[in-house]
Amino acid sequence: MILAVLSFMKDFDRILDSDAEFDELVKSGDSFVAAFLLTEGCQPCVQLMQIFMEVAKDLKQSVPLHVVDCEDKRTQKTCSSQLLKGYPTVKMFNSNQNKTIEMDVARNQSAIFAWVNKNHKRPFIHSPTTSDFIEQINKKDEFIAVLTTKSKPANLLYRLGRESKWIQIIVNTDFEYSELQQHKIGKYAVDGQLNVIYCKFEQCQRYQGNGKGYNIQSWIDGLKEE
């Protein structure tokens, strides 16, 4: 049984190996999920690890899932601080309720996935309609607008939001080009494409490169240095 849990943990790339690492995640303010488990004598822990790996694939890094081995001396302080009543225990930190919440749904892939999506805090403002989007950007002197024709924010946006905390990112899904032409930002948008537009005091510029995340991130980092 020990080997079974350890084999899953070996394939999982989000094993927390120190109390300091856990503390840094909490201080970041970003939502993340942690499963507290034992590597010895815990069949439910083995079952959860199997499910956790599948949920991680579904989330595609939009919300990080981490594992804490409570038999590892390096994370003893973390496990003790959580006042765990049993193993495994799953918690979300920095949720959209601005507090830590314990998972209270069935331990299956679809239920855990839905629970994470319902309770996590997005690192950007999501405006699903054009009117709401315009209302949001009118409140800001400096921001990055992301216009996408997709109905849901892409995982790329979660990474950009977490790595670009110096500026507010506002996302308009189901982007309607014609509706946006009524606003000044409309002249910077291109119909049918992913648009990333930086604005500061009425002056805007659109990202001109390809849609790869690291290129967009480099562009945003460059704006900060200007």
Nearest residue to 104 (alpha-carbon basis) of 122, 94, 90: 90
What band does 76 get if pLDDT is binned at 50, 70 and 90?
very high
Q: What is the pLDDT of residue 10?
A: 58
> Does the pLDDT at position 79 exceed 80?
yes
Q: What element of type H or E holds 196?
A: strand 195-200
**Cα distance between residue 216 and residue 222, in whole Å:** 10
CB atoms within 10 A of CB 58: 13
Mean predicted confidence (pLDDT) in 60-88: 92
Q: Enumerate the H helices of 60-189 as residue ranges.
A: 76-81, 109-119, 130-137, 155-163, 177-180
pTM of the model: 0.81
What residues have CB less than 8 Å from 202, skipping those under 6 apart? 184
Tens-place pLDDT, residues 147-168: 998 888 888 899 899 999 999 9
Q: What is the pLDDT of residue 9?
A: 60
- Burial readout 114-142 (b: 16 or more C-beta within 10 A, e: otherwise): ebbeebbebbbbbbeebeebbebbeeeee
The two structure tokens encoding residue 155: 């995982």
Domain ranges of the chain: 2-119, 125-225
**Cα distance between residue 119 and residue 51, in whole Å:** 19
125-225 placed in CATH 3.40.640.10: no
Q: What is the pLDDT of residue 5?
A: 57
Domains 2-119 and 125-225 share a fold: yes
**Cα distance between residue 182 and residue 121, in whole Å:** 31
Q: What is the pLDDT of residue 1?
A: 47
**Cα distance between residue 116 and residue 54, in whole Å:** 13
Contact 148, 194 (CB under 8 A): yes
For residue 152, give the 3-state DSSP assignment.
coil
Q: Which residue has the tokens 């480099």?
A: 218
Tens-place pLDDT, residues 44-60: 998 898 898 889 888 87
CB atoms within 10 A of CB 209: 10
Q: What is the pLDDT of residue 161?
A: 92
Which superfamily does CATH assign the domain made up of 2-119 to?
Glutaredoxin (3.40.30.10)
Count helices and strands (H / E) in the chain. Answer: 9, 10
Q: H/E/C letters for each residue in 76-100?
A: HHHHHHCCCCCCCEEEEECCCCCCC
